[in-house]
Structure 1
C-alpha cells in the first residue's frame, strides 16, 4: 500500500512521527472529554450566584453553586464557605482558596506539556529525517561514480522530504490544538480569579461593616455611661442644694438637729 511505502521510505524518523501523532490525537480527545466531564463549558450559574454574593446572601449563593460542576464552581464554593466561616483568619482563607485554585488548574493543565512537546519537536524531527535522507542520497551518488542518473538524485531528495512533510503534518494540528485548549484554560483561570476577587472584596466589606458596628456599639455604650454619670452628678447637685436649703432655714436646722445630733457641730 502507498501508506506503507511512505513509512518505509521515511524510515525510523517517520515511525517516530506517527507515534507522536497518535499521542497528540489521544491528548486532544482526552482534553475534550475532560472539559466536558468537568463542566468547564457550563458557566450559566456564575452570574446568578454572584448576584446573591453581591447582595450579601451567602446562604443562597452557596445553595445556587452547590450542584454546579467545574473548577469555577468549586473555587466559588470554597470561597463562600471560607467567608461564612468566621473562625478562619484572612490568611488561612486566602491560603485555602489558593490551594484549591492551584489544584483545579493543575488538573486542567494535565498533558499540556506533552502536547507542547509534540508541537515543538515534530518539525525538528522532520528536518532531521530530511537531512539524513539527503546524506543517504548523496552517498549513493558518490558510490555511483561517473554513472550518475538524475532520477537517482531526484528520488533520494523526494524520499528525504517525506519526513519534513510528516513533521509539519503532525506539528500544525498539535500547535492549533494546544493554543485552543490553552485558551480555554486561560478563560477558566480568568473566571476563577474574577469570582475570587469579588468574593474577597465582599469579605472586606463585611469586615468594615463589623468594625463600623463595633465602633457604633462602643460609642453607644460610652454615651450611656456619660449620661449615667451626668444623671448622678445632677442628682448629687440637687441633693446638695436641698441640704444647703435646709441648713439656711431655722426650722429646717432644728429638724436636722433632732434627726441627726451630730449636726450640732456645724
Structure 2
C-alpha cells in the first residue's frame, strides 16, 4: 500500500513538472527564429520593479518564518506533556506524596504540570473530594491548555491568508500603473511603461503566493501536530485524575 502511494506521488510530481515545462519548451521553439538576447534579471531588480507592496510581503515572510521556528520549538511533547514528568507524577501519587508532585510540577513547567497543579489545589482545599467536581476542574484546565496550544497555530494561518491578499493589492496597483500608461499620451515610452506595470503586477502576485503557500502548508502540519499533542495531554490528565482519586480511596 505504501509503495503504491509513493508511486502515485511520483507520478503526480512528474505530471506537474511536465505541465510546467511544456509552455516553456513551446515558447522557446516559437522564439527560435528571433534574434533577441534576453537580459538576466537580478533579485534587486525584481524587488525594485515590485514596488512598495513587495516590502510589506517581505515583512510578512519574516513574521511567518519566525512563527514557524517558534512552533517547531513549542509544539513538542517536552513542552506539553513530557513522558518523564507523567511517570514521575504517577509514581509520587502512588506513594501519596502530594508535595513531591507539586515540586515536580513547579520544576518542570508545562501544560501537564498546570493541569496537575489545578487538580492538587482542588484536592488539598476540599475534603472529602467530590470525584465529579475534580473531573470538572481537571477537564476545565485541560480545555484551557488545549485551546492555548491550538490557538498558537492561528497566527501562521493569518500570514497564509493575508500574504496573497497583499500580493493581490500589489497586483491592482501594478495594473493601475499599466493602464495609466495607456491612458496618457506618452508617445514611444507607452509600451515600456505598460510592460513595467504588468511586470509589477505579476511580481506582486508571485510574491504573495510565495509567502502564502508555504505558510498554509506549515499551518496544516502544525495543526495536526497540535491535535496529537492535545490528545496526549488529555490521556495524561486522565491518568493524573485517576491517581488523585485512588489516593483519596475513591473511584471514578
Q: Same-fold call, TM > 0.5?
A: yes
Change (3 A) 1:111 1:199: closer
Q: Is the 8 A contact 1:24 1:115 kept in 2?
A: yes
Q: Does 1:70 align with 2:110?
A: yes
Mean Cα displacement is larger for which, 62-71 or 120-129?
A: 62-71
Change (3 A) 1:199 1:114: closer
| Cα deviations by residue, 1:80-101 (Å, 9 ceiling, x for unpaired) | 7756875332344234323432
TM normalised by structure 1 equals 0.59
Alpha-carbon shift at residue 127 of structure 1 (Å):
1.6
Q: 2:96 aligns with which of 51, 59, 63?
A: 59
Q: Does 1:180 align with 2:221?
A: yes
Q: 1:167 aligns with which of 185, 193, 208?
A: 208
Q: Does 1:7 align with 2:50?
A: no
Q: Which runs of 5+ in 2 are unaligned?
A: 1-40
Q: CA RMSD in A?
A: 4.0
Alpha-carbon shift at residue 119 of structure 1 (Å):
0.7
Alpha-carbon shift at residue 32 of structure 1 (Å):
3.1
> Which has a greater percent of helix?
1
| Cα deviations by residue, 1:159-197 (Å, 9 ceiling, x for unpaired) | 211111111111122112222222232122111222334
Alignment size in residue pairs: 206
Alpha-carbon shift at residue 71 of structure 1 (Å):
1.8
Q: Is the 8 A contact 1:75 1:192 kept in 2?
A: no
TM normalised by structure 2 equals 0.62
Separation in 2 of the partners of 1:127 and 1:51? 54
Change (3 A) 1:208 1:158: closer
Separation in 2 of the partners of 1:64 and 1:208? 20
| Equivalent position of 2:237 in the other structure | 196
Q: Is the 8 A contact 2:51 2:200 kept in 1?
A: no
Mean Cα displacement is larger for which, 44-53 or 152-161?
A: 44-53
Alpha-carbon shift at residue 20 of structure 1 (Å):
1.1
Separation in 1 of the partners of 2:152 and 2:51? 28
